[in-house]
Structure 1
Amino acid sequence: MTWFSSPTDAATRLGEHGYLADPATATTAYLAGALEKPLLVEGPAGVGKTELAKAVARATGADLVRLQCYEGLDEARALYEWNYKKQLLRIQASQGDGQSWSETHDDIFTDEFLLTRPLLTAIRREEQTVLLIDEVDKTDVEVEGLLLEVLSDFQVTIPELGTVEAVRRPFVVLTSNATRELSEAVKRRCLYLHLDYPDAEREREIVTSQVPGLEDKIAEQLVATIGRLRELELKKAPSIAESVDWARTLIALEIRDLDEKAIADTLGVVLKHASDQDRAVRELKLRS
């Protein structure tokens, strides 16, 4: 099946489901579906990488399967593991039946005892599926070897069962905050898209589309302030989602002018570190 009929179709349908895609994003999303290649989306935290995968799922009516990566992630959490407790109970129950070990072995290594994790789940699904491998740069290098088989052939080898091939290839999105360099082998198997913070005009479009009723004046003030905050050396720069949260906060508090006092009073919505707030107050010369 074709996920999107053209880059224009991708931009339109993603936009209808709350994701304003620029031409490069729309084109790459279209190609990822048309070429059936995984899409690696890289960029700073909070620029819409994860949301892109969610928007593709919404726009196409596909189910989303998510693998959240973290340090220490292993095959048992990413791919599959055997239900050892259930297997042990079956072995104990079969001891009085006169079964040979080979018969018992064949009995306990079946689908009934297999616990599928996100990668295997996505591969085995017959329905339309978006597979999100989120923050892949947080995993150990060894996990990339596990991904290679999945990303190159969309298949997984389970020693006890054999090779499981995808009946229907999922739309795969890998996200990375670029905290470490991914291997060339992984990159070679993917299309690449770099997302950065949007310019002021596009961010204003995003915020106003997500927060109906936000006045143009305060939207411009908010986006300008967010831009100034991102220029500071902060531990965590404000994300697009936090821009949207700030807009909703201003509406909830009925703030119609984002002056210095209003910024200081609501700074905790967008800056989540005390040192970042102190720097912002100092650099922007805010008054409470």
Structure 2
Amino acid sequence: MRTDWFTSPDDASSALRESGYLADSATATTAFLAGALEKPLLLEGPAGVGKTELAKAVARARGAELVRLQCYEGLDEARALYEWNYKKQLLRIQAAGGSQDWSSTHDDIFTDEFLLTRPLLSAIRRDAPTVLLIDEVDKTDVEVEGLLLEVLSDFQVTIPELGTIAATRRPYVVLTSNASRELSEALKRRCLYLHLDHPDLERERAIVVGQVPEIDEAVARQVVEVVAQLRELDLKKTPSIAESIDWARTLVALEIDDLDEEVAVATLGVVLKHVSDQKKAAHELISRRRK
């Protein structure tokens, strides 16, 4: 069992806390196991609950390089893994002026000098501690999951012109998903799984205070209570933890020591980014005040 990353769940919890991430018991335990078992960690849950931030916190906690593959519809092998620098290869061929046979030319242009490494290959080739973040994997096409299987199974990449490149030091891999589509069982089998949801009031208050130490404890509690109320509404986009923190910073900047309904309505743009959501929330907050 490897202990390069964390020696125990308690060590993971402590290290993550020192790097600014307040992890609950399940998160700390799974973060430890991902390093100890050298298995990718699949984090699933709604947007804004700290999935991406966990990968960043692991990198900060252990002084590792963060390599990020941001997934999107249409992502392909050239953007995720590698591609050849065709323009540079063409210049080399032209410079040779036809003095070489094709076999020699082939060996000359298909080398590291002409290889453009993308996040997956970059992470595999690094000798130093590396956290590979594959962010929002559910946004890719299903075919991309097949590309990930070789990488996540054996931590190696096969390049036809160069052969198989295996990791000399396995990266700490974190995949995130907002569950916009079901991921394949083959991909899930290769990962440890953790579902992250919005934290309870007390933990979110602790997160807010940790990130915004200047805020009054009572105001921090008001922030997380109002945010919890907003999350109960039928909104297009519910407020994330990051938006709770932004709201707390806003109140500190405005020197507000009481988040009443009037202040909440006036600053809703910090946490709600759709007009319909703001109108719905304002109506709810004002209605509760009248009650």
- TM-score range (shorter-chain normalised) is over 0.9
How far is the alpha carbon of 1:217 from its aligned partner?
Answer: 1.4
SS in structure 1 of the partner of residue 286 of structure 2: coil
Q: Tell me what 2:239 maps to.
A: 238
Return the alpha-carbon distance in structure 1 between the equivalents of residues 78 and 152 of structure 2. Answer: 18
Which deviations, in whole Å up to 9, do the C-alpha atoms of 1:40-81 show, x marking residues without a partner? Answer: 000000000000000000001110000000000000000000
Q: How does 1:98-113 map to 2 (within 5 A)?
A: 98-113=99-114
How far is the alpha carbon of 1:283 from its aligned partner?
Answer: 2.0
Q: Tell me what 2:52 maps to.
A: 50
Return the alpha-carbon distance in structure 2 between the equivalents of residues 2 and 76 of structure 1. Answer: 31
How far is the alpha carbon of 1:33 from its aligned partner?
Answer: 0.2
Return the alpha-carbon distance in structure 1 between the equivalents of residues 72 and 55 of structure 2. Answer: 19
User: Do 2:265 and 2:285's aligned partners in 1 also have CA atoms closer than 8 Å?
Assistant: no
Which deviations, in whole Å up to 9, do the C-alpha atoms of 1:88-116 show, x marking residues without a partner? Answer: 111111124x2101110110000000000
Q: How does 1:59-208 map to 2 (within 5 A)?
A: 59-96=61-98, 98-208=99-209
SS in structure 2 of the partner of residue 130 of structure 1: strand
Q: Tell me what 2:277 maps to.
A: 276
Which deviations, in whole Å up to 9, do the C-alpha atoms of 1:173-217 show, x marking residues without a partner? Answer: 000000000000000000000000000000000000110121121
Return the alpha-carbon distance in structure 2 between the equivalents of residues 141 and 77 of structure 1. Answer: 16
Matched length: 286
Q: Tell me what 2:248 maps to.
A: 247
In the alignment, which of 20, 28, 46 is matched to residue 26 of structure 1?
28
Q: Tell me what 2:229 maps to.
A: 228
How far is the alpha carbon of 1:247 from its aligned partner?
Answer: 0.2
SS in structure 2 of the partner of residue 150 of structure 1: helix
Return the alpha-carbon distance in structure 1 between the equivalents of residues 97 and 219 of structure 2. Answer: 74
SS in structure 1 of the partner of residue 259 of structure 2: coil
Report the residue type matching 1:129 in the other structure.
T
Report the residue type matching 1:257 in the other structure.
D
Return the alpha-carbon distance in structure 2 between the equivalents of residues 73 and 282 of structure 1. Answer: 41
User: Do 2:66 and 2:132's aligned partners in 1 also have CA atoms closer than 8 Å?
Assistant: yes
TM (norm. structure 2) is 0.97
Return the alpha-carbon distance in structure 1 between the equivalents of residues 218 and 124 of structure 2. Answer: 48
Which deviations, in whole Å up to 9, do the C-alpha atoms of 1:144-178 show, x marking residues without a partner? Answer: 00000000000000000000000100000000000
Report the residue type matching 1:7 in the other structure.
P
Return the alpha-carbon distance in structure 2 between the equivalents of residues 179 and 251 of structure 1. Answer: 35
Return the alpha-carbon distance in structure 2 between the equivalents of residues 152 and 79 of structure 1. Answer: 15
SS in structure 2 of the partner of residue 285 of structure 1: helix
SS in structure 1 of the partner of residue 267 of structure 2: helix
Report the residue type matching 2:95 in the other structure.
A
SS in structure 2 of the partner of residue 21 of structure 1: coil
How far is the alpha carbon of 1:232 from its aligned partner?
Answer: 0.6
Report the residue type matching 2:148 in the other structure.
L
Question: 5+ unaligned residues in a row in structure 2: which ranges?
Answer: none
Report the residue type matching 2:178 in the other structure.
N
Q: Tell me what 1:211 maps to.
A: 212
How far is the alpha carbon of 1:281 from its aligned partner?
Answer: 1.1
Return the alpha-carbon distance in structure 2 between the equivalents of residues 129 and 283 of structure 1. Answer: 46
SS in structure 1 of the partner of residue 257 of structure 2: coil
SS in structure 1 of the partner of residue 97 of structure 2: helix
TM (norm. structure 1) is 0.98
Question: 5+ unaligned residues in a row in structure 1: which ranges?
Answer: none
